[in-house]
Amino acid sequence: MKKIKKSEKVLVSVIYKFVDENLKKELVSLRRFFHKKPEEGWCEFFTTYNIVQYLKKLKCDVYYGHNFLKPGERYGLCSNNDFELSAERAKNQGVPESFINEVTKGFTGAVAVFKFKNPGPVCVFRFDIDALKVEESNNKDHKPYNCGFMSENTGFSHACGHDGHITVGLLLCSILSKNSEDLKGEIRVIFQMAEEGCRGASAVIKSGFVDGADYVFGGHIGISTVKTGELAVITDGFLATTKLDIVFKGKSAHAANSPHLGKNAMLAAAQFVLASSAIPRFGDKITSVNTGIFNSGTGRNIIPDSAYLKTETRGYDSEADNYMQKEVIQRAKGAAEMYGCDVEINTAGKACSFASNSELVKMAKEIYADMTEGGTILEKSFTASEDFTNIAVYAEKTGAKCAYFTFGSYLAGPHHSSDFDFDEEVLFNETEFMARIAFDILKN
């Protein structure tokens, strides 16, 4: 074998090809397995159980439950009723009650840790695992329906591709396990709960599994790219965001006989929605506000004594988002005072702005061009929010280099829609690419 001079730039990805026909079959099979059992954030009992069972067969240390997460910093937890319903469903789907007790009420997700023989860098890969409250389409043209892997959990679906992310993360772990003798340093693969709503990353940070990282990587299927086979490195456009749960509390009364004795929480909340929509925008920076859930009232002849809203702000950067958040809170308090109500405002999730490290952008381009013999790689804006940014910005403060990629795929419908589906070919590209990153950095 030719001896390589230290001055020569060589990618080990020239040597390795990880995704063969057998692995392709496993990728598709696993993706469809998880697609059938979608679960919302903090309630991923079936998902976490099967991730853990897969990882326990590999050469790695597996952490989950209270060995992974710590109490506190867990935004937007489910209600007790949601936890109970999700737990019962998972038990009916074969998850042992003993396991559910280990992860319930905000302790889902898992981490695989590979510690190799020789010292070297520490790499962290993050993959999200939660689904959405979206009823999946049963249209005959919808592939999951006509191919028999449509969601079996009524009212929930993997309408954002996280079933694919889980699968890539697990197969990356399988590749690392099979090639552990070729690597140095340490790799931590985090299967993160509750990404939707930007709720879970803060708990991941508190767990300590990001501490000491030299490199941190994340990615997403379909966003910012169009064609299968394209790869985008996200260089800007992650929007900072704050998720707020707002509760107006008034006083009920008879709507006709004694309306003067009531305090109408619904009117206060409606006033808030209109007022927040009229917030002046922040100069030349992107800002937005949206109330997506508004629940109030118990009967047509009763003055509503409460109103519950889920509102979010977004901004081009944290400064712009903080401006929007401050204005929203001010209008909520003003609307409550106008109608003689009280208001409670709680943060249910947050994310910050972020851009991929320029050195990793260059490295990714070299790896992907080699892997695909000149395949298209782009630099793109994200134009949305992602919980990964909290992890990345935290890691950067201690010197880590971080990057986020989006993997191009034909989409049958937009993200978060009932007919969302992606081209399963993207699973092969993403797995191969992530494995090559690991080996380029940690090759002995």
Q: pLDDT of 281-304, one tens digit each?
A: 888 899 999 999 999 999 999 999
Token code pair at residue 124: 């962290």
Distance CA 363, CA 355 (A): 15
Q: What is the pLDDT of residue 368?
A: 92
Averaged pLDDT, 422-430: 96
Q: What average pLDDT score do residues 143-171 get?
A: 98
Q: What is the pLDDT of residue 138?
A: 96
Q: Does the structure show a pLDDT above 90 at 72?
A: no
pLDDT above 90 covers a percentage of the chain that reads 89
In the chain, domain spans? 12-238+353-442, 240-351
Whole-angstrom distance, CA of residue 385 vs CA of residue 376: 24
| Closest C-alpha among 252, 299, 291, 245 to residue 271 | 291
| Among 74, 328, 275, 36, CA closest to 154 | 36
Q: Regarding beta strands 421-422 and 411-413, do their DSSP bridges make them parallel or antiparallel, or are they unpaired?
A: antiparallel
The Cα angle at residue 139 between residues 292 and 144, in degrees rounded to 5: 90
**Residue 6, φ and ψ in degrees, nearest 5:** -60, -25
Average pLDDT over residues 207-222: 97
Q: Global pTM? A: 0.92
Looking at residue 14, its pLDDT comes to 45
Asked if residue 1 has pLDDT above 70, the reply is no
Q: Higher-confidence residue: 371 or 190?
A: 190
Q: Using CA atoms, how far apart are residues 32 and 285, in angstroms rounded to an integer?
A: 40
The whole-chain average pLDDT of the chain stands at 94
pLDDT, tens digit, for every residue of 308-331? 999 999 999 999 999 999 999 999
**4 exposed, middle or buried (CB, 10 Å; 0-12, 13-18, 19+)?**
exposed
**Closest listed residue to residue 336, CA positions, set 259, 255, 252, 265:** 265
Which residue type does 395 have? A
What is d(CA 74, CA 202) in angstroms, rounded to the nearest whole number? 7
Please state, in angstroms and rounded to a whole number, the distance separating the CA atoms of residues 375 and 371: 8
Predicted confidence (pLDDT) at residue 88 exceeds the cutoff of 70: yes
The residue-averaged pLDDT of 195-216 equals 97
Is residue 187 within a helix (H) or strand (E), and if so which, with residue range?
strand 184-192
Question: Would you state the pLDDT for residue 228?
Answer: 87
Task: Return the pLDDT at 15.
Answer: 54
Instruction: Select the CATH number that applies to the domain covering 12-238+353-442 from these four: 3.40.630.10, 3.40.50.620, 3.40.50.300, 3.20.20.140.
Output: 3.40.630.10
CATH tag for 240-351 (out of 3.30.70.360, 3.30.43.10, 3.30.390.10, 3.10.129.10):
3.30.70.360
pLDDT at 9: 40
Is the alpha carbon torsion for 420, 422, 427, 433 positive or negative? negative
Per mean pLDDT, which range of 132-136, 143-147, 149-153, 370-374 is the poorest?
370-374
* pLDDT tens column, 352-401: 999 999 999 999 999 998 898 777 888 999 988 999 999 999 999 999 99
Percent of the chain whose predicted confidence (pLDDT) is above 70: 96
Please check the confidence at residue 149 and state whether its pLDDT lies above 80.
yes
The amino acid sitting at 370 is: D
